[in-house]
Structure 1
Amino acid sequence: MSEQQPPPQKKQQHEQSLMDHLVELRDRLLHMVLAILIVFVALFAFSEEIFTIAAQPLLALMPEGTSMIATGVTSPFLVPFKLVLLLSVLLTIPYLLHQIWAFIAPGLYLHEKRLATPLLISSVILFYCGIAFAYFVIFPILFGFFIGIAPAGVAVMTDISQYLDFIIAIFLAFGIAFEVPVATFLIIAAGITSADKLAAKRPYIIIGAFFIGMLLTPPDIISQSLLAIPIWLLFEIGLIASRLFLKEKEKEEVIMENDEFTLIEEKPVDFSGDIPPDDHDEEGNPLSDEELENLFDEAEAEEDENNQKDEFDELDKADKNDKSDKADKSDKSDKSDKSDKNDKNDKNDKNDKNDKNDKNDKSD
């Protein structure tokens, strides 16, 4: 058998809905790209100043008479270009998230929207905080350490391409690392695990923080430690925030339950004109335990009697059906006997007629 195809009208509606979503997705992606391009065009005129600001943590610590160098032919152009493009994306993150949110929000429930909105806002703020922490705190410590341990007679002249790759890696590493409180909160709020279980696994989380620091930072113990320690501290902040959230949620649930019980208790029970409940007598007075047991026994006895009556009724119906079947069979047999007799009589009559005709023929 061929599969049943959906009605043409429903199929057309489904295709229209899908096309509407695709058109909306295309429009929002175009808006996101245009926003990045507009910011990029506005900032590219200040690309030299932007690169100077980005390189300031290193330039401030370099010895006098030294400077950064460009070893590639296209580096003087590509490095500021990449930096301005990255800055354009970073500055438009709120608008990009707004477009993404506007696309997915209609498909979310109200409680999901209430939970997602503060999480998105806090995620953006924490990401910017991670970048600012890397620029103002980590870079001076890191560059001061590297320049300070340079051997005597070695001139520190960093290539601008390598410097850009280094700071981008550090910015992204600390920006993502500062999302740890949000990730911790989501894991606990979603019920995947509890705050107590995560707190019990703190040693493993600290080791994991150092492992993440090793993956996301350049291969040196200083960068790894400078990232791992903030990850650990941010995990503790997320743990505290999730516990506070769960306490507030439990309080709200208790308040709602108490409000429901209060409404139930405050609502007067009026039996006038209505049938009293089973645990009250006709006058509305509550029954004792013995009276309730007697009522239950009587109800069970009535139920047993009704069940027995139903069984007897079924047996009677079955007997009647058997008798009617037997009567039908006997009627059918009588009819068949009568038909056989009629057939025999017809044959005899035919034979008699044939004999008479033969005799008449012979006499003639």
Structure 2
Amino acid sequence: MAAEPQDELAGTEQPFVSHLIELRDRLMRALIAVGLVFGALCLWPGPAGLYDLLAAPLVANLPKGTTLIATNVISPFIVPLKITLMAAFLISLPIVLYQVWAFVAPGLYSHEKKLVLPLVVSSTLLFIAGVAFCYFFVFGQVFAFIQSFAPKSITAAPDIEAYLSFVLSMFIAFGAAFEVPVAVVVLARMGIVTVAKLKEWRGYFIVLAFVIAAIITPPDVVSQLSLAIPMCLLYEVGIWAAQIFIKHTKAPDADTTEPTST
């Protein structure tokens, strides 16, 4: 008689209540991590200091002596706190994602862990890279481009809440755009599309990238090119990474792992 193949997850089942308790504990740890980082940022550099840092690319391109304004009474208090909370979440994101990983990992096979863990790490790094690229490169170029077209009779005095909304939308847009390699790898690994098809659709994706950039970025050439060109380059990175992931994260072949009877 042929021996039955053993399931890696055999004996790891837990009652539903135990899963809920573990989920609660890991959510609490994630919230505590965000809270601790938030408290540390409130002490240094402080909400006001973080807002000044976030507003620096815009202020550097405003006319000399011009500052941002607040049209709401509580905006000078609320907006810096929102920025501090956003920064705390980004800084503690690795801890938050680790808690997610620790919760789902026991229910994954070894070949699935080889896929999920690298994707969690890479998606985090790519999102942060997209936000950093937007802040350090795109903002300066976009604000300088916009101010170069502003008539001299107009004095720019942006509202701080409007600026925060603009910054958040741009951060999310660039952070999500930098996730293109992860999306390509997942689609290829799940068998939804082959690597050969991804290569064939390269031209269509370039058109799609420029359409997306035209929709979600301000109506200026600089920001649109700054989003579309990295998306096209990251698509190529995704195709290359997909070939590696498919090769190293295949499920064990049942035909090779199951002993044959004599």
Take 1:183 and 1:75, find their aligned partners in 2: how far apart are those partners? 37
Inter-partner Cα distance in structure 2 for 1:126 and 1:70: 33
| Partner residue, 1:55 | 55
What is the Cα deviation at residue 222 of structure 1?
Answer: 4.0
Once the two structures are superposed, residues 46-73 of structure 1 have per-residue CA deviations (whole angstroms, 9 ceiling, x without a partner) of 1111111111111112121211111111
Larger radius of gyration: 1
Corresponding residue of 1:176: 176
Give the whole-Å Cα distance in 1 for the aligned partners of 2:106 and 2:208: 37
Structure 2 gap ranges (5+): 1-12, 257-262
Q: CA deviation at 1:227?
A: 1.4
Q: SS at 1:176's partner residue?
A: helix
In structure 1, what is the equivalent of residue 30 of structure 2? 32
Deviations, residues 70-94 of structure 1 (Å, cap 9, x unaligned): 1111110111011001111111110
Q: Does 1:211 align with 2:220?
A: no
Q: Which residue of 1 aligns with 2:260?
A: none
Q: What residue in structure 2 maps to residue 314 of structure 1?
A: none
TM-score by length of 1: 0.61
Name the structure with the higher helix share. Answer: 1
Secondary structure at the aligned position of 1:156 is classed as coil
Q: Deviations over 1:251-290 (max 9, x none)?
A: xx9xxx9xxxxxxxxxxxxxxxxxxxxxxxxxxxxxxxxx
Which residue pairs with 1:82 in the alignment? Answer: 82
Q: How does 1:59-138 map to 2 (within 5 A)?
A: 59-138=59-138
| 67-76 or 221-230: bigger deviation | 221-230
8 Å CA contact retained: 2:115, 2:245: no
RMSD: 2.3
**Shift in Å, 1:242:** 2.2
Tell which has more relative contact order, 1 or 2 (C-alpha 8 A, sep 6+).
2
Gaps of 5+ in 1: 1-13, 258-364
Q: 1:244 to 1:35 in 2, by over 3 A?
A: closer
Aligned 8 A contact 2:50 2:84 in 1: yes
- Structure-to-structure mapping, 1:1-364, within 5 angstroms: 17-45=15-43, 46-246=46-246, 249=248
- 2:176 and 2:114 map into 1 onto residues whose CA distance is 23
> 2:225 is aligned with what amino acid?
S
> Which residue of structure 1 lines up, in the alignment, with residue 5 of structure 2?
none
The one-letter amino acid of 2:151's match is P
Look up the SS of the partner of 2:70 in the other structure. coil
Distance 1:20 1:214 in 2: 48
